């Protein structure tokens, strides 16, 4: 642990100047948060000591994400509960795409001193809600004051038994592989564009894209089923957080291969198309370059596609191939601007 | 991973507006940092994928700490190199007190867009310097922009073989135990007070306390030797980060015991006393309540003290006892202000 000293005043206190937390104090607040967080299987010592202690991990898989106020979220847009879920969901999504399940989460909560306890309560409820859903524990972290809300989460996971001891990395793509995605793309980005537009109308389509933006679902179950169906057929995977074309570049670079993506093949929900049209945006562009889809991007053996797709009830879409040629990503059938990217 | 969108401008870019990083860009910067960081034993997949993958961990031990600019450090006071070391050292210290060694570190770097690359280079050199010294790897993290520098580190460690399968927790203190500390106390706090005073004079004493403040040494080797000498005699431990009296309260609370501390017995370096006197401060108060000593606080079987102390070349000092009575900490022979604390 690190002592907190306000270097402007020289006062060594934690959140003590904070009227909103004054009734509970730092350790009172930590106790209050801790009371919301259940300790589940795999955690031997959770909150309350110098360190957390876990049970043995066969193949530990770790992911980190930091969310910064005004950069990744706005408190006037998102609910505290949804933000709590998303703070952990984005890292669960990383673990899932590697073939791992979460075991324990650690949160550094850097918070302005005037944050309302009710907001923090709801934020912790949201974290616990996701932890319960995916059966892991929020097992530790750090609480400190900061001028701006910064949420840094580290998730410790373990390789799924279905992964047969081999994590799925970005680097395994092979010539001839199909490039596939799960679910549909562009909805989260459409939700963000809706928020940025200041558009205050409300329809089922608006609700659908906003839900995808605020409350993404990590595709752990999909990945588990795919690995169980045919581990050997899945050569590379990652989750789509930076947008399909950008993330495909990561696979291309790490695998030293050339990927093509056919813009006409992208799975786009009707609601995403509807919102894009209202905003005067191109849904294909959102699906190609928009971020935070948290769907799986996979490179798989072509012959395995039908059985894999059936195993996940048709959740997969073929969007491209791994082909001969220069390392990079080529987007086919799209506008000039994004038709070709390379290193 | 999480996409970074500037919610003020709607631009989805990472550090792209940053002149100081513009020459390299986000992924260029990450590659540059990665080139400084060696992958050591225990890390199967390090930087560059969605997740890091470690080798099997028998008893994983995890610690987190966040350092916030202006709260925990000032860039005009500390060197980037020292800050890089300290960012990881404070968590290594937590691991050490629990009887664990570090295996892999994960850093969320939330940085203002105008931070100089040279500063960041030196910061990463500092992290690598500590990682090399304690034989672990900086194996992942997240890089994002933020209005203020926030450094959030999570260390994954493994229980030392010398701990015989049992982590050393805050909760094991027993009636009759001696309360001991390693090294000497108050130096880091004296260093901080020196900085806060604006005092610009320089002497060996000043250098000594500033070094303790900027470059603390995790007591991993001391803990290893103590555990090897007599694991069963060590009932509880933690590192002193919030100040001896405050941290003793954590042990008292978790162990549901009453601890006494004799203020006259505190080990204080001559240099600490010298600086305290110059600043008109009481060295005993700094040693009792000052923070960031990063020494060990231990509750041990009295009969084991001589052998344990000999094993660490006299590095231990008896500062108190675990006694009958109300749960809490009683400080003997100190001024009125800090003579008694309880819950």
pLDDT in tens, B41-52: 999 999 888 899
In this predicted structure, the answer to whether residue A14 has a pLDDT above a threshold of 80 is no
The mean pLDDT value for A22-48 works out to: 80
* Confidence tier at B316 by pLDDT (50, 70, 90): very high
Q: Does A41 touch chain B (CB under 8 A)?
A: no
| Residues A149 and A46 grouped into a single domain | yes
Q: How far apart are CA A295 and CA A217, in angstroms?
A: 8
Kindly state the DSSP code that residue A199 receives in the 8-state scheme: -
Collect all residues of chain A within an 8 Å Cβ-Cβ radius of residue B3.
72, 241-243, 291-292
Size of interface A-B (CB pairs under 8 A): 277
Instruction: Verify whether the Cβ–Cβ distance A3 to B292 is below 8 Å.
Output: yes
The mean pLDDT value for A11-20 works out to: 44
Minimal CA separation from B119 to chain A, in Å: 21
| Residues A97 and A191 grouped into a single domain | no
| Percentages of chain A per state (helix, strand, coil), in multiples of 5 | 40, 25, 35
Q: Residue A308: which of A220, A238, A216, A224 has the closest Cα?
A: A224
Q: Does B7 touch chain A (CB under 8 A)?
A: yes
Q: What is the separation of C-alpha B123 from the centre of its chain, rounded to a whole number of angstroms?
A: 17
Can you give the pLDDT at residue A202? 81
Instruction: Verify whether the Cβ–Cβ distance B51 to A157 is below 8 Å.
Output: yes
Question: Out of B62, B70, B139, whose CB is closest to A52?
Answer: B62
Question: Out of B57, B65, B292, whose CB is closest to A57?
Answer: B57
Note down the domain range covering A334: 170-342
For testing contact with chain B, the best of A25, A60, A143, A166 (most B CBs within 10 A): A60
| Residues B182 and B206 grouped into a single domain | yes
Question: Out of A3, A45, A90, whose CB is closest to B167?
Answer: A45
Residue B7 within any structural domain of the chain = no
Residue A20 within any structural domain of the chain = no
Q: Residue B220: which of B64, B42, B101 has the closest Cα?
A: B101
Q: Does A8 touch chain B (CB under 8 A)?
A: yes
Q: Residue B158: which of B51, B41, B52, B240 has the closest Cα?
A: B41
Can you give the pLDDT at residue A4? 62
Strands (E), A83-188: 100-111, 137-145, 150-159, 178-182
The mean pLDDT value for B18-35 works out to: 66
Can you give the pLDDT at residue B8? 52
Minimal CA separation from B73 to chain A, in Å: 7
Per the CB < 8 A criterion, the answer to whether A324 and A254 are in contact is no
- Give pLDDT tens digits for A140-150: 999 888 989 99
In this predicted structure, the answer to whether residue A328 has a pLDDT above a threshold of 50 is yes
Instruction: Verify whether the Cβ–Cβ distance A65 to B159 is below 8 Å.
Output: no
Collect all residues of chain B within an 8 Å Cβ-Cβ radius of residue A89.
none
| Residues A106 and A185 grouped into a single domain | no
- Give pLDDT tens digits for A156-205: 999 999 999 999 999 999 999 999 999 999 999 999 999 999 876 789 99
Residue A17 within any structural domain of the chain = no
How far is residue B226 from each of residues A53, B26, B70, B304, measured CA to CA in Å?
20, 45, 37, 10
Q: What is the separation of C-alpha A82 from the centre of its chain, rounded to a whole number of angstroms?
A: 13
Instruction: Verify whether the Cβ–Cβ distance A3 to B291 is below 8 Å.
Output: yes
The mean pLDDT value for B276-280 works out to: 94
Q: How far apart are CA A313 and CA A258, in angstroms?
A: 29
For A139, nearest residue in chain B (alpha carbons): B62
**Structural domain total, chain A:** 2
Minimal CA separation from A143 to chain B, in Å: 8
Q: What is the CATH number for B91? A: 3.30.1330.10
| Residues B278 and B133 grouped into a single domain | no
Look at residues B137, B163, B189 and tell me which one is the last residue of a structural domain: B163
Instruction: Verify whether the Cβ–Cβ distance B156 to A152 is below 8 Å.
Output: no
Q: How far apart are CA B143 and CA B150, in angstroms?
A: 11
Give the burial class of A19: count Cβ atoms within 10 A of its Cβ; 0-12 exposed, 13-18 middle, 19 or more buried.
exposed
Collect all residues of chain A within an 8 Å Cβ-Cβ radius of residue B64.
106-108, 140-142, 154
- Average pLDDT in chain B: 90
Per the CB < 8 A criterion, the answer to whether B101 and B14 are in contact is no
Instruction: Verify whether the Cβ–Cβ distance A64 to B154 is below 8 Å.
Output: yes
* DSSP labels, A228-274: HHHGGGEEEEEE-SS-HHHHHHHHHHHHT-EEEEEGGG----HHHHH
Per the CB < 8 A criterion, the answer to whether B179 and B119 are in contact is no
| Residues B141 and B177 grouped into a single domain | no
* Confidence tier at B27 by pLDDT (50, 70, 90): low
Look at residues B129, B144, B163 and tell me which one is the last residue of a structural domain: B163
| Residues A235 and A315 grouped into a single domain | yes
First to last CA, chain A: 42
Residue B119 or A19, more confident: B119
Instruction: Verify whether the Cβ–Cβ distance B51 to A146 is below 8 Å.
Output: no
Q: How far apart are CA B67 and CA A226, in angstroms?
A: 40
- Give pLDDT tens digits for A73-123: 999 999 999 999 999 999 999 999 999 999 999 999 999 888 888 999 999
How far is residue A317 from each of residues A276, A297, A340, measured CA to CA in Å?
21, 10, 21
Per the CB < 8 A criterion, the answer to whether A71 and A165 are in contact is no
Residue A336 within any structural domain of the chain = yes
Can you give the pLDDT at residue B114? 84
| Residues A202 and A184 grouped into a single domain | yes
| Residues B200 and B327 grouped into a single domain | yes
Can you give the pLDDT at residue B32? 81
What is the pairing mode between strands A150-159 and A100-111? antiparallel
The mean pLDDT value for B91-109 works out to: 97
Per the CB < 8 A criterion, the answer to whether B197 and B276 are in contact is no
| Residues B181 and B54 grouped into a single domain | no
Residue B291 within any structural domain of the chain = yes
Question: Out of B1, B45, B290, whose CB is closest to A242?
Answer: B1
Look at residues B105, B139, B163 and tell me which one is the last residue of a structural domain: B163
The mean pLDDT value for B52-69 works out to: 96
Per the CB < 8 A criterion, the answer to whether A66 and B152 are in contact is yes
Can you give the pLDDT at residue A3? 64
* Confidence tier at B334 by pLDDT (50, 70, 90): confident
| Residues A318 and A180 grouped into a single domain | yes
Residue A4 within any structural domain of the chain = no
Residue B106 within any structural domain of the chain = yes
Q: How many CB atoms lie within 10 A of CB A74?
A: 13
First to last CA, chain B: 42
In this predicted structure, the answer to whether residue B224 has a pLDDT above a threshold of 50 is yes
- Give pLDDT tens digits for A133-142: 999 999 999 9
- Average pLDDT in chain A: 90
Q: What is the ipTM of this complex?
A: 0.91
Q: How far apart are CA B130 and CA B137, in angstroms?
A: 10
* Confidence tier at B20 by pLDDT (50, 70, 90): low
Strand partners, B104: B137, B156
For A56, nearest residue in chain B (alpha carbons): B58
Cα-only R_g, chain B: 21
Question: Out of A6, A64, A74, whose CB is closest to B142?
Answer: A64
Kindly state the DSSP code that residue B336 receives in the 8-state scheme: G
Q: How far apart are CA B170 and CA B152, in angstroms?
A: 24
In this predicted structure, the answer to whether residue B202 has a pLDDT above a threshold of 90 is no
Q: What is the largest CA-CA distance in chain B?
A: 67
Q: What is the CATH number for B239? A: 3.90.650.10
Q: Does B9 touch chain A (CB under 8 A)?
A: no
| Residues B52 and B71 grouped into a single domain | yes
Instruction: Verify whether the Cβ–Cβ distance A53 to B64 is below 8 Å.
Output: no
Q: Which of residues 103-132 of A touch B (CB under 8 A)?
A: 104, 106-108, 110
Instruction: Verify whether the Cβ–Cβ distance A74 to B98 is below 8 Å.
Output: no
What percentage of chain A carries pLDDT values higher than 90? 78
Residue B90 within any structural domain of the chain = yes
Which of helix, strand or coil describes residue B70? Answer: coil
Question: Out of B4, B94, B144, whose CB is closest to A50?
Answer: B94
Which of helix, strand or coil describes residue A197? Answer: helix
Minimal CA separation from B305 to chain A, in Å: 23
Q: Does B24 touch chain A (CB under 8 A)?
A: no
Per the CB < 8 A criterion, the answer to whether B313 and B219 are in contact is no
Residue B200 or A31, more confident: A31
Q: Which of residues 249-268 of B touch A (CB under 8 A)?
A: 254
User: Nearest 5°: CA angle at B313, between B312 and B316?
Assistant: 65
Minimal CA separation from A140 to chain B, in Å: 8
For A156, nearest residue in chain B (alpha carbons): B156
Q: Does A338 touch chain B (CB under 8 A)?
A: no
Q: How far apart are CA B163 and CA A250, in angstroms?
A: 42
Q: How far apart are CA A59 and CA A100, in angstroms?
A: 9
């Amino acid at each position: 642990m690190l002592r907190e000293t306000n270097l402007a005043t020289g006062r060594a206190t934690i959140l003590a100047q904070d009227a909103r937390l004054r009734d509970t104090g730092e350790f009172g607040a930590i106790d209050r948060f801790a009371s919301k967080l259940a300790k589940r299987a795999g955690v031997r010592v959770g909150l309350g000591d110098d360190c957390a202690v876990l049970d043995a991990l066969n193949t530990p898989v770790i992911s980190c994400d930091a969310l910064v106020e005004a950069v990744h979220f706005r408190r006037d847009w998102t609910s505290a509960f949804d933000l709590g879920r998303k703070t952990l969901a984005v890292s669960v999504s990383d673990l899932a795409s590697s073939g791992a399940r979460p075991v324990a989460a650690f949160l550094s909560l850097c918070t302005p001193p005037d944050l309302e306890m009710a907001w923090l309560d709801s934020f912790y409820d949201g974290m616990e809600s996701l932890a319960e859903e995916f059966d892991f524990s929020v097992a530790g972290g750090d609480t400190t004051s900061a001028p701006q809300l910064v949420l840094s989460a580290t998730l410790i996971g373990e390789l799924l038994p279905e992964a047969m001891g081999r994590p799925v990395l970005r680097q395994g793509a092979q010539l001839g592989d199909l490039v596939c995605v799960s679910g549909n793309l562009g909805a989260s980005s459409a939700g963000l564009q809706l928020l940025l537009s200041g558009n205050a109308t409300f329809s089922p389509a608006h609700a659908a894209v906003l839900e995808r933006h605020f409350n993404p679902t990590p595709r752990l179950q999909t990945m588990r089923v795919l690995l169980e169906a045919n581990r050997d057929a899945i050569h590379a995977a990652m989750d789509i957080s930076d947008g399909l074309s950008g993330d495909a570049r990561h696979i291309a670079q790490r695998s030293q291969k050339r990927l093509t993506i056919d813009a006409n093949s992208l799975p786009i929900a009707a609601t995403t198309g509807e919102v894009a049209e209202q905003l005067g945006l191109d849904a294909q562009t959102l699906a190609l370059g928009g971020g935070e889809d948290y769907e799986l991007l996979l490179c798989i053996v072509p012959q395995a596609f039908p059985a894999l797709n059936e195993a996940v009830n048709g959740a997969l879409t073929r969007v491209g191939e791994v082909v001969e040629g220069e390392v990079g990503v080529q987007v086919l059938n799209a506008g000039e601007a994004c038709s070709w990217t390379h290193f």
